[in-house]
Amino acid sequence: MTEQSRKHLPDQTLDSPQKPLKIARTEEEDQQSEQNMSQNPRLQRYLVAIEYIGTRFSGSQQQPNCRTAVGVLEEAFRKFIGQSVSVFCSSRTDAGVHALSNVCHVDVERISKRKPGEVLPPHEPAVVKRAVNHFLQKNEGDIMVIDVRSVPSNFHARYNARERTYFYRMLSGPEPLSTFEKDRAWHVPEELDVLAMQEACKILVGYHDFSSFRAAGCQANSPIRTLDEIRVNEVATSFFSAPMEMEHNNIICEEIDTCLRRPGTDLTSPNGDRIKNSKVGLNQEFSIRKRHRCYVVTARARSFLYHQVRLLVGVLKCVGTGELTASDDAFIMKH
């Protein structure tokens, strides 16, 4: 399951199936905190793009007694500049949601460590990126700064965002997911009718009342949203070890073919396992994992309601498995 967000700069997030923690911070609190931060003319505002694996984060926003992406990033900045900062993200991701590029902004005042109280010229963006990543990698290593730019003090990563794009990955097939796909995709054991899903997307795209596609904790004043794009595509799976695995299995199969010509002979595989020569045939597919069919749902809009994307994907999945039809989709939209 993947979610990606694109803002004024690219912002992308990836979603996993874990239940998210509810985020209670209001927009009014954000704006008040932002106003207080921008009143100091000695502060340099930086736009920071971060990527992270969300599995061990309780979401992006600061929460008491929880490990969050913003909390870890703020701590890295504190170690770098020697004072606390506040980070404002363009997208609030839930627990377990991954980010390819979630854009944030932060105000930094560079104070001399040799002469306390002396304000120095701002750090270059490249210095900020290198220093913050140094401290992030000393943490769990599951979050990294991928870009930093200096921006005017009135630029806001969230409110100046132009659009957001989310990617949601579904792997279809009866076999269990690979270890490498755990928490990075939604496993759907059934076959999916991608053509039916694409027809349903045509109903969802556009300007609508999405009341049926927001969670109970949604704080948006209006359920009206314009969904600029929603589509389903089948793509190649991203199991990165496939070439290495194929080479490894070819070595085993070559030895097996040789051994089968000599009845009663055992052989040892490259990993030390004993393989007994018997009358049971072994072919070139020995130990190779059966692949799933991978589908990616792409949703793009200026803004989304709370849990809107995952609810849209849930409906599309039901259309793909035959539990719902495109006409049911239209009925849900109206009710």
For 215-230, letters b (16+ CB in 10 Å) and e give eeebeeeeeebebeeb
Q: CA 82, CA 250: separation in Å to the nearest integer?
A: 55
In 3D, which of 269, 54, 52, 298 has the Cα closest to residue 182? 54
Tokens of 227: 């969904």
Q: What Rg, from alpha-carbon coordinates, does the chain have?
A: 25
Q: CA 186, CA 295: separation in Å to the nearest integer?
A: 10
Please state, in angstroms and as integers, the Cα–Cα distance from residue 122 to each residue in 72, 103, 192, 203, 204, following that order: 22, 20, 53, 50, 46
Q: Are 329 and 204 in contact (CB under 8 A)?
A: yes
Q: CA 83, CA 93: separation in Å to the nearest integer?
A: 26
Rounded (5°) CA angle 92-97-103: 45
Q: Which residues 6+ apart lie within 8 Å of 79 measured at CB?
A: 135
Q: Are 111 and 120 in contact (CB under 8 A)?
A: yes
Q: Which residues 6+ apart lie within 8 Å of 246 measured at CB?
A: 288
- 94 given a catalytic annotation: yes
Q: CA 305, CA 315: separation in Å to the nearest integer?
A: 16
SS3 224: strand
Which among 11, 94, 107, 142 is annotated as catalytic? 94
**DSSP string of 109-129?**
--B-SSSTT-B-PPPPHHHHH
| Residue 150 CA from chain centroid, whole number | 25
Q: How many CB atoms lie within 10 A of CB 233?
A: 12
Please, which residues bridge with residue 119 across strands?
111
The catalytic residue positions are 94
